[in-house]
């Protein structure tokens, strides 16, 4: 059998994209609550500090998972999930982020969620911060301020103690490299002002690294059974050609992206990143003891999202205004989704090898999936053979990485295992799920849940531990 016994098959969501109930039971406003709905041609707007009358904020209702989690988790159980990757909305526990006492209603909610998971034999895999920073922290400058580390660690301390024995797998920051990317990304990744400068983003990342390192140590102290992982947002690229300048351009691009897992997995900034900061005049706010802390707080495992691969080369650069990578190339060998994302299962095997060779840490693929516009057929069912094909090829790539390459891969959680709101565009109609949710982009509908064809297929995959892929 290629997949090891105990392989963690499952699915993934994030609180702000599925829960709704944005102001219920004492929850405070988080970054996602100020992001309007967009679509492929209109980016989402960030309206912080206001919520503008008449605009749609998709996270307000989302798929109402907050009130329907029992039904949803029962369906995950029916599929045979071994794990459910989800996030705790920080502002349900600390409404403004900086309180001393947690909000009991928020804590009780996740007690019920975790109990429900265990009822179905599902091990929760919890992201502590997934694009939902309490906006009460904006008055401090959010992650630019070192104080925010203490608020985050206090939040961790509370949830590690409260859920001891119920949760064993934690991820500190979703796609931690988002902080260094574009305007929307740094807001999503940490409630930062979208116009933050490269210096501000580098400072914020530095603080997130320290916070993550402290969280790792604390999790181990509170429960030696705890395992804490890093989560990298899957940016990977191939060289545009074998022109050495393209190969070098691609390498520099990847080096830049890998700074994030390097710090979390190796406990220090790579020399290339420090040199780049020096050239750009960026100064990290280093204090005594920080280097030791980063070393002592390396993660137990590395996870990442994988949707597509990119191409980079001598013309690749980071846009100076937005910080977004401009790779400047496309890949003629790959098809793309309706949202222009390349479909590249071989790239998944490639990246698993890359990370295994680079860090030698256990790996999990915690996001992978196909976002499409789809409607139920006349029989009321979504017949999503394309999604089955997509996942089958990616599972084969993981199988090859394990069986042929010896990669230590421990789990696979597909993104949006139930239809949820898209993070990038805010659309509901960009659907990834094995379960169809009857809600449209205006959040109208019955919200009924119906298994798609892929639901029964994934059930067979899990039951056979990845042997049966048809």
One of 133, 142, 174, 303 touching ligand BGP (CB under 6 A) = 174
CB of 156 to ligand BGP, least distance (A): 20
Q: Measure the CA–CA gap between 8 and 409, rounded to whole angstroms.
A: 9
* Residue whose CB is less far from ligand BGP, 169 or 415: 415
Q: Rule CB under 6 A: say whether 367 interacts with ligand BGP.
A: yes
Q: Nearest to ligand BGP by Cβ — which residue? A: 424
One of 44, 430, 449, 452 touching ligand BGP (CB under 6 A) = 430
One of 97, 191, 371, 433 touching ligand BGP (CB under 6 A) = 371
Window of 133-141, 242-250, 290-298, 418-426 that interacts with ligand BGP by CB under 6 A: 418-426
* Residue whose CB is less far from ligand BGP, 267 or 426: 426
CB of 182 to ligand BGP, least distance (A): 12
Total number of residues that touch ligand BGP (CB under 6 A):
15
With CA atoms as reference, report the closest residue to 153 among 78, 239, 88, 218: 218
* Residue whose CB is less far from ligand BGP, 328 or 424: 424
CB of 40 to ligand BGP, least distance (A): 11
Which residues, 274 to 303, sit near ligand BGP by CB under 6 A?
Answer: none
* Residue whose CB is less far from ligand BGP, 415 or 434: 415
* Residue whose CB is less far from ligand BGP, 14 or 311: 14
The distance from CA 365 to its chain's CA centroid, rounded to whole angstroms, is 10
CB of 337 to ligand BGP, least distance (A): 9
Q: Rule CB under 6 A: say whether 415 interacts with ligand BGP.
A: yes
Q: Rule CB under 6 A: say whether 391 interacts with ligand BGP.
A: no
* Residue whose CB is less far from ligand BGP, 142 or 174: 174
One of 8, 14, 311, 401 touching ligand BGP (CB under 6 A) = 14
CB of 419 to ligand BGP, least distance (A): 11
One of 257, 423, 428, 462 touching ligand BGP (CB under 6 A) = 423
Window of 36-44, 52-60, 96-104, 420-428 that interacts with ligand BGP by CB under 6 A: 420-428
Q: Measure the CA–CA gap between 8 and 76, rounded to whole angstroms.
A: 13
* Residue whose CB is less far from ligand BGP, 17 or 203: 17
* Residue whose CB is less far from ligand BGP, 103 or 351: 351
Q: Rule CB under 6 A: say whether 422 interacts with ligand BGP.
A: yes
CB of 147 to ligand BGP, least distance (A): 26
Three-state secondary structure of the chain: CCCCCCCEEEEECCHHHHCCCCCCCCCCCEHHHHECCCCCCCCCCECCCCCCCCCCCHHHCCCCHHHHHHHHHHHHHHHCCCEEEEECCHHHHCCCCCCCCCCHHHHHHHHHHHHHHHHCCCEEEEEEECCCCEHHHHHHCHHHCCHHHHHHHHHHHHHHHHCECCECEEEEECCHHHHHCCHHHHHHHHCCCCCCCHHHHHHHHHHHHHHHHHHHHHHHHHCCCCEEEEEECCCCEEECCCCHHHHHHHHHHHHHHHHHHHHHHHCCCCHHHHHHHHHHCCCCCCCCCHHHHHHHCCCCEEEEECCCCEEECCCCEECCCCCCEECCCCCCCCCECCCCCECCHHHHHHHHHHHHHHHCCCEEEEECCCCECCCCCCCCCCCCHHHHHHHHHHHHHHHHHHHCCCCCEEEEEEECCECCCCCCCCCCCCECCCEEECCCCCCCCCCCEEECHHHHHHHHHHHCCCCCCC
Which residues, 93 to 152, sit near ligand BGP by CB under 6 A?
Answer: 131
161 burial level (CB within 10 Å; 0-12, 13-18, 19+): exposed
Q: Take residue 457 and report the two structure tokens written for it.
A: 């297929």
Q: Rule CB under 6 A: say whether 185 interacts with ligand BGP.
A: no
CB of 423 to ligand BGP, least distance (A): 3
Site track for ligand BGP across 203-242, x = CB under 6 A: ------------------------------x---------
* Contact residues for ligand BGP, defined by CB under 6 A: 14, 17, 131, 174-175, 233, 305, 367, 371, 415, 422-425, 430
């Amino acid at each position: 059998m290629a997949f090891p016994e105990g392989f963690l098959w499952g699915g993934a969501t994030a609180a702000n994209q599925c829960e709704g109930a944005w102001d219920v039971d004492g929850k405070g406003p988080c970054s996602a609550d100020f992001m309007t709905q967009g679509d492929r041609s209109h980016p989402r707007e960030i309206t912080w500090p206001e919520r503008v009358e008449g605009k749609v904020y998709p996270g307000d209702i989302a798929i109402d998972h907050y009130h329907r989690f029992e039904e949803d988790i029962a369906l995950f159980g029916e599929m045979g999930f071994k794990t459910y990757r989800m996030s705790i909305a920080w502002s349900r526990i600390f409404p403004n982020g900086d309180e001393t006492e947690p909000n009991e209603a928020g804590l009780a909610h996740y007690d019920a969620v975790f109990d429900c998971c265990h009822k179905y034999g599902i091990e929760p895999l919890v992201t502590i911060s997934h694009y939902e920073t309490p906006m009460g922290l904006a008055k401090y400058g959010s992650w630019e301020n070192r104080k925010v580390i203490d608020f985050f660690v206090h939040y961790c301390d509370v949830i590690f103690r409260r859920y001891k024995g119920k949760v064993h797998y934690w991820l500190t920051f979703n796609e931690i490299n988002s902080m260094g990317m574009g305007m929307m990304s740094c807001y999503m990744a940490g409630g930062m002002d979208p116009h933050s400068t490269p210096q501000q983003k580098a400072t914020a990342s530095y603080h997130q690294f320290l916070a993550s390192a402290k969280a790792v140590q604390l999790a181990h102290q509170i429960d030696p059974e705890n395992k804490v992982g890093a989560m990298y947002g899957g940016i990977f690229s191939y060289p545009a050609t074998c022109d050495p300048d393209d190969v070098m351009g691609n390498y520099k691009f990847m080096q830049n992206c890998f700074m994030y897992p390097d710090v979390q997995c190796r406990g220090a900034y790579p020399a290339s990143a420090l040199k780049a900061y020096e050239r750009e005049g960026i100064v990290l706010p280093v204090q005594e003891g920080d280097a030791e802390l980063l070393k002592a707080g390396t993660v137990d495992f590395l996870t990442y999202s994988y949707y597509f691969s990119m191409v980079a080369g001598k013309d690749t650069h980071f846009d100076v205004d937005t910080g977004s990578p401009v790779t400047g190339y496309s890949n003629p060998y790959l098809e793309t989704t309706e949202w222009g994302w390349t479909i590249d299962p071989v790239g998944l095997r490639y990246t698993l090898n890359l990370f295994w060779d680079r860090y030698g840490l256990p790996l999990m693929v915690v996001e992978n999936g196909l976002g499409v516009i789809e409607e139920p057929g006349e029989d009321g069912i979504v017949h999503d053979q394309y999604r089955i094909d997509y996942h089958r090829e990616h599972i084969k790539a993981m199988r090859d990485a394990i069986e042929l390459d010896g990669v230590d891969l421990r789990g696979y959680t597909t993104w949006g295992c139930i239809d949820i709101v898209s993070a990038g565009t805010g659309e509901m109609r960009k659907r990834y799920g094995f379960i169809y949710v009857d809600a449209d982009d205006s959040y109208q509908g019955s919200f009924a849940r119906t298994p798609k064809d892929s639901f029964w297929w994934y059930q067979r995959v899990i039951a056979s531990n990845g042997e049966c892929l048809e």
